[in-house]
Structure 1
Amino acid sequence: MSVQNSTPHVFDATTAGFEEDVLRRSLEVPVLVDFWAEWCGPCKTLGPILEKLAGEFHGAFLLAKVDTEKEPQIAGAFQIRSIPTVFLVKDGQIVDGFQGALAEGQVRQFLQHHGIAPAEPADEAPAKAAPLDPQAEVARLREAVAAEPDKDELRLDLALALLQTGAPAEAERLLDALPANLATDDRAVKARARLGFAALLADAPPPAALEAAIAADPGDLRARHLLGVHRIVGNDPEGGLEQFLEMLQRDRSFEDGLPRRALIDAFRIVEDAELVGRYRRRMASLLLV
């Protein structure tokens, strides 16, 4: 049942490469770790389902296959007592798992529960649209909402546009008024995360004052954190990520792991996938040394 090289999203995990291939890569994309063996009947039922979904999801998650007969050290580290056993690893940590040969529908529900949805095939990814002027987009959406006041999707779009222009109070009112089906929309969830960042700035000094504090004391991590939040909220995501990364490099344990938490929260907000991937890799290189 070896699957090495059968698809770019499925691979055989080994003891020697586990840290790089599973833990480090899980900082960029979720990894399902499937513990199996040739003699295991249920494994032969579950394995093809997992491999099928890994291909269908086009890299939204990776599937690491661990042959417990060949890799007993990995099985021991995960305290495997029965197979098949599957663990989900994200950001270098186990977040969930299941035992036994689930049906395909149940595996899909497991992935959906953790926010894992099929990605676009690499050769069919849509071209990036030219960035919109935030103020012009707010004006356009206000007119659209006035023309169709009962269309809740337009209100969500307006809330997102308002966040881009630094109007969190009005955006929050719009989000609070959304019906339940839209309140759990991925865009609404991201908007709530962005509001959380904005709330941190309620009594914060302005960016210029924070920059002066950092110039006087580069180790002032509280100032770096607030400046990073200013940058993220103010549409300078790379500037914000750079401040959080500098915090991680200087003291990863600051305020009970705030640098890492700030980076992870920012990754949920920043829309530029290439930028997020680059900073995830830089974060991984610091955490895994």
Structure 2
Amino acid sequence: MTQQPFSRPGAIDLSALKGAAGPGAPRPAPAGGPAAGPGAAQPGGGATSAYCVSITEQNFESVVETSRTAPLLLVFYSPTQMPESVQLADDLETLSGEFEGRFLAGRVDIDAVPQIAQLMQIPSIPLVVMIFDGRPMPLLQDVVPLEELRTALTQVMQQLTAQGITGRHQPRTGAAQPEGDEAEEAGMDPRYAAAQDALGEGDIDTAVAEYQKLVDANPADAEAAAGLAMAKVLQRTRGVDLQAARAAAAAAPDDVDAQTMVADLDMLGGHVDDAFSRLIDLIRRSEGEDRNKAREHLLGLFGAVGNDDPRVMRGRQNLASALF
């Protein structure tokens, strides 16, 4: 197979996906019968994660159909041609459990199902391809350490969340699922289920209310605070015309409401740095109540992205410079 260049993790333009299936868009129910579950006989061994499936000719189409609900990550590997690629498949399966349904991992052993690799026109292995709403996008073409893979996937999921793509896969029947203390250690917290389910159904107001309850009960809950911040972005931008909003902001560069609206829309489009820069520039040239309003809005966007994100760290430094 010939090598071709692919996007690297953390540098992936996901803006095209927003139009494919934004929050509230109708989604077909995932297809699938018994053959689609990891409990069925499969080549290359059965998947053990609740969010991983081994791909066969029989289940390929139904598994791809689930990408209309949440991302599907296909990992192409070969135990015979490149034994080390198996580790990448194993690591992706491990992370699928950690991410609790934010993506479904599909293991594609090209020795067992070469026709799938041919169908997808795979240029080389190993390869990880993300499919969302049936649309493929290459993510990774190297065997990387588990921590690097975890970081890359975290960045991708943050980009998707910033665009309002928040659906989750349901655990697949037949896979081993943690229980009790093991489930708690794996981070499976049912407290967020109501809010996440509401987002998946496009019910933004309910999601905001559910996240607000969690924040009110525990202001130190960073995950609930981030969820609330992102849900509020979705709520504020609901039904807004992008071009009209940009025109209004261009016509009134010092209007806080106009600028914060475009910053929110930039967030949903995956242009996080642009959103931050717009508000920081506004803060630099504002004063009084307008300045404070822009600053508070920016802090909310920081919370939506996550304090550990390098873009937020840079944004905080730039904010400090703008303020002082």
Q: What TM-score range do you get, normalising by the shorter chain?
A: 0.3 to 0.5
- The TM-score, its normalising length taken from structure 2, stands at 0.41
- The TM-score, its normalising length taken from structure 1, stands at 0.46
User: Relative contact order (C-alpha < 8 Å, sep 6+): which is higher?
Assistant: 2
Larger radius of gyration: 1
